[in-house]
Every structure is written in C-alpha cells, then in structure tokens.
Structure 1
C-alpha cells in the first residue's frame, strides 16, 4: 500500500483503532505508572498522554478552521505546545485519562461534522505545511497508533497496529527520510525501525526518532 492509495476513510478507521488501543493501555495506569518513564527517552507516560490529548485539541483547531474558514492555528506558539506536554506532570491519573478521552471524543465529533466542501478546505499544520482537511485523520492516526506503542506498557506493539496503517506509515517515512531501499523483515519491525523505535531487524542502521 502506498500513500497514494491511502484514503481518508482508511485514516479515520485507523485513528479510531489507535485511540481505542491507547485508551485501553492507559486505563489501568495508576499514579506511579503515569510518572514512570515511557518508551520515548525523556518522557514520562504522563507527558506522553498529555501530548496526545493536547494534539487532539490542536487538531480540533484545524477542524474549526476547515468548518468555518476562520484561521485557527494548531498551537499559538512552540511554547504552548511544550506547555501541553509538561502539563502531564501536574495532573492526576484520573485527570489525564479524562483529558485524553474527552479530547479524542471532541475531535472525532468535529471530524464527523465536516461537510464534503469543508473536508477539502486547506489548513496549515504546526510544521507549516498547507494540507486539505482530509489529511487530519491521518495526522491523528499516526499520533495515537505510534504513541500507543510508546506508552511502554507492554500491551501494544507495532505488530498490534493495523497492517494498512503500517504500510502507509512505512511509505511516508521512507519518502521523508529519502530512503530508496528498506531492510528485509516483517512489516511491523520495518515500521518500528523507520520510526526510530526499538526493533528486531539485524544489521539495520540506527535512525533518529520520527514523530
């Protein structure tokens, strides 16, 4: 599967699946577990969950932009984005789970409300890319699916993610990293390697983290 064959409907389904995986993984975490390190160096699980929740809020700004035509950036500044991540260290386990769930539900409802015309309106991502609103579900799918693994609870691995999602992820990262060849191995392990996450591929060169 290539990026060209990925559809918004695919991405919506992957975002729903990833959200369910993430919520399930976070459901059993208590206060010490949220304060413990995630699989992302330097990030606690609380930081990670706060980041994903804040991402839903930020994507909601782009949904508003598409729905109304009112320019609404994802984040007011890089400092605001960083503050959203840091907020994870200040919230209780219950507050983190509530924010994660409520922000995901609100984003899904906003996406559900877009009309055919609004889906094709252009918005600007936090990285400055101009994209149609049809890209928003894919942006969310990447966040929830990859970070469900990054939570590091042992409940979700790359092998648990939808195969179509992994194929689309591999194609996108391969293109962005400018790679012409990929190592042989199972699709989940290739995806993990490309994303700069732990993998079981032998002799694959090290890559920095992506996303």
Structure 2
C-alpha cells in the first residue's frame, strides 16, 4: 500500500475530484434515477445526495468559524442534521441537483479564501472533535469520494486517487483498531475497510463506515 500521508492541498484536490464525480453522476438522474436505491442500506440516492449537500452546508459553517473566529456549529443540533437527510425524498430532481451544486461551490469558494492564519484556527466538528481548519478539506474529500461510489452508478474505489485511498485506508484501519489487513489491491482493501462491496476473498464482513 502507498504512504497514507496527506496535506490540505492534497485533500482539496481530492475533494474537487469527488465533487466532480458526484455532480457528473446526478446530472443524468431523472426522478426515477434519484429515487433508486443507493449502495447504503435503506437509503435512496435522494437521501444520499441530500446528506452530501447538507454536509457541504455544515462544513461551510466551520469555514466561517475559522475565517471569523465566531463559533458557528456545523449543525444546530443532531436533529437538524437528520432533518437534512430526511428532506431529500421530498425534493425534486432539479431541487436536489441545485442544492448539491450550490452548496458544493459555496464551500469550495470559502475554503479557497482562507488565509494562512485562518487555516490553523480550531473549530469543533459535529462529533465534538476540536480540529484545525486544515482538516476540513479532508472531511469533505471523504464525503464526496466515498459517496460518489455509494450512488451506484458504476464509480468504484478504483476510480479514486491512490493517495486518497491510502489516507482513507490508514484512517479507517486506525478507527477500527485493526492490526492486520487482507492482501489485495488498494482500492479493494479500502472498499472492504469502508464496509462497501469488494472482491476480496474470505475477508470478514464490516459494517459501513461514514
């Protein structure tokens, strides 16, 4: 496996790649396409797209916090976060595309405007972790890259950058406290770690991560 070291510049690039994959996928969805099941259990593509759009809005709040030093929670409450996902099925195909596109562009612009000092200001994630703003691009890269696969349109982990896969594999391995990984290509090992479909033989089943 390749080195999982990553920089904020790397993460920004991966976030752009994942966003492009997401936007290209939903561009061709009609109502039936959006309403089809995603790879994630019990979630349609509408749920998934609403989640990714709401995530961009939440991360934008944290970028505002870093830019202004004004505490701005990612979500007002856990209920607000859940409501954003639940809102998805009630929206039309056009409304979901507009929300995903607009929120993604707004976040990207805000990240690009952060100065050197602002990048190192601390914010608090929805999980209660205190992190520097330099971690925000990585948080977004994970969302868009993994969920681009979850849309089930043919995008696989093999379509994602090797550096991203290595960084993601390292993170999930540490979070799951695994000391050994099965042998296999990096995309398949990362898919397994994330609890997604893979081609590894005899690897134990893992619950979805992220």
Shift of 1:145: 0.1
| Structure 1: gaps of 5 or more residues | none
Give the TM-score normalised by structure 2: 0.98
The answer as to 2:154 corresponding to 1:150 is no
The answer as to 2:10 corresponding to 1:10 is yes
| Aligned alpha-carbon RMSD (Å) | 0.8
The answer as to 2:198 corresponding to 1:195 is no
After TM superposition, which residue ranges in structure 1, 4 or more long, deviate above 4 angstroms? none
- The 5 Å alignment of 1:59-70 reads 59-70=59-70
Partner of 2:33: 33
Partner of 1:108: 108
Q: 1:35-58: CA deviations, max 9, x gaps? A: 111110010100100000000000
Query: Residues of 2 paired with 1:43 and 1:74: CA distance?
Result: 22
Query: Residues of 1 paired with 2:96 and 2:153: CA distance?
Result: 16
Partner of 2:99: 99
Partner of 1:174: 173
Give the TM-score normalised by structure 1: 0.98
Query: Residues of 2 paired with 1:94 and 1:190: CA distance?
Result: 36
Shift of 1:2: 4.3
The answer as to 2:130 corresponding to 1:125 is no
Partner of 2:164: 165
Q: Matched residue of 2:87: which SS?
A: helix
Shift of 1:142: 0.1
Q: Matched residue of 1:57: which SS?
A: helix
Partner of 1:76: 76
Query: Residues of 2 paired with 1:132 and 1:202: CA distance?
Result: 39
CA contact (8 A) 2:3 2:163 kept: no
- The 5 Å alignment of 1:135-146 reads 135-146=135-146
Q: 1:124-143: CA deviations, max 9, x gaps? A: 11111100000000000000
Q: Matched residue of 2:182: which SS?
A: coil
Query: Residues of 2 paired with 1:188 and 1:194: CA distance?
Result: 10
Query: Residues of 2 paired with 1:52 and 1:168: CA distance?
Result: 20
Q: 1:75-108: CA deviations, max 9, x gaps? A: 1111100100011101110110011000000000
The alignment covers a number of residue pairs equal to 209
Q: 1:10-33: CA deviations, max 9, x gaps? A: 000000000001100111000011
Partner of 1:87: 87
Shift of 1:153: 1.5
